[in-house]
Amino acid sequence: MLKKPVFIGVNRFEGFFRLSASSSVFANIARPYASALFDLASETKSVAEVEKNLSEMGALISSNEDFSQLLASPVISAEAKTIAIEKILAKAKLHKIVANFIRAVARNDRLFVLPTMIDAFGELCAKARGEISAEVTSAVPLSKKQLGDLAKTLKTKTGKTVTLDTSVDPSLIGGLVVRVGSQMIDSSLKTKLNAMKIAMKEVR
């Protein structure tokens, strides 16, 4: 299990700004890396372990703001980032393939795309298992039963096992917004109320 590293002063750099690149640019950079890693993991029959390690790394990045800013910052040198990454790798019990992969990403000064690479690798793993993912947004957290029923419904509609990526948005008031690939199903009360308001305006 990866422990949260402590970086003092990373978010105090004057003039610090986030790299403003579109998600499509990030995805284009990430795909070749993720694909190469997946091929290597497949050859060594270590896909499951690599996926688990990367998932832990992704969780660490998401939960530690200083670490996330360190990776994304364009004002911190690649050398400084590499030193920080090496400290993490020295403590973390990662598969050799994962550790070497992260080192290569650091050497190529692409750590700012690491979270996207992790997501892309996860998508390749899911595809290999015949799975697809669905983004589910609800007004309140869904119960295990509700999530189970939704997964079964989506599996019936798509013919594939569906993993749910959930988030909560109180502004929806009620109902759900489900996105599977390019298809979106919006049954939120907020959308229905907005549609009703538009309809009322049109009849005036």
Indicate whether 74 pLDDT > 80: yes
Q: Which pLDDT band, with edges at 50, 70 and 90, does 6 fall under?
A: very low
Question: What value does the mean pLDDT take over residues 169-175?
Answer: 84
Rounded Cα distance, 49 and 130, in Å: 18
Question: What value does the mean pLDDT take over residues 138-142?
Answer: 88
- What's the pLDDT at 200? 66
Mean pLDDT of the chain: 83
Decide yes or no: CATH 1.10.520.20 for domain 20-126: yes
- What's the pLDDT at 203? 55
- What's the pLDDT at 124? 93
Question: What value does the mean pLDDT take over residues 6-17?
Answer: 38
Indicate whether 178 pLDDT > 80: yes
Nearby residues of 82 by Cβ (< 8 Å), 6 or more positions away:
103, 106, 107
> And the tokens for 191?
């959308």
Higher pLDDT, 74 or 15: 74
Burial 52-73 (b: 16+ CB within 10 A, else e): ebbebbbebbeebeebbbbbbb
Rounded Cα distance, 35 and 33, in Å: 5
State pLDDT tens for residues 16-53.
Answer: 334 434 467 888 899 999 999 999 999 999 999 999 99
pTM: 0.64
Q: Where in the chain is the domain with CATH 1.10.520.20?
A: 20-126
Rounded Cα distance, 151 and 136, in Å: 10
Higher pLDDT, 177 or 118: 118
164 phi/psi in degrees, rounded to 5: -100, 130
- The DSSP secondary-structure symbol of 41 reads H
Burial 101-118 (b: 16+ CB within 10 A, else e): bbeebbeeebbbbbbbbb
- What's the pLDDT at 194? 75
Indicate whether 10 pLDDT > 50: no
- Of the chain, the percentage scoring pLDDT greater than 70 comes to 85
- What's the pLDDT at 12? 37
Rounded Cα distance, 153 and 193, in Å: 25
- What's the pLDDT at 81? 92
State pLDDT tens for residues 93-139.
Answer: 899 999 999 999 999 999 999 999 999 999 899 889 888 888 889 88
Rounded Cα distance, 1 and 57, in Å: 9
Rounded Cα distance, 79 and 106, in Å: 8
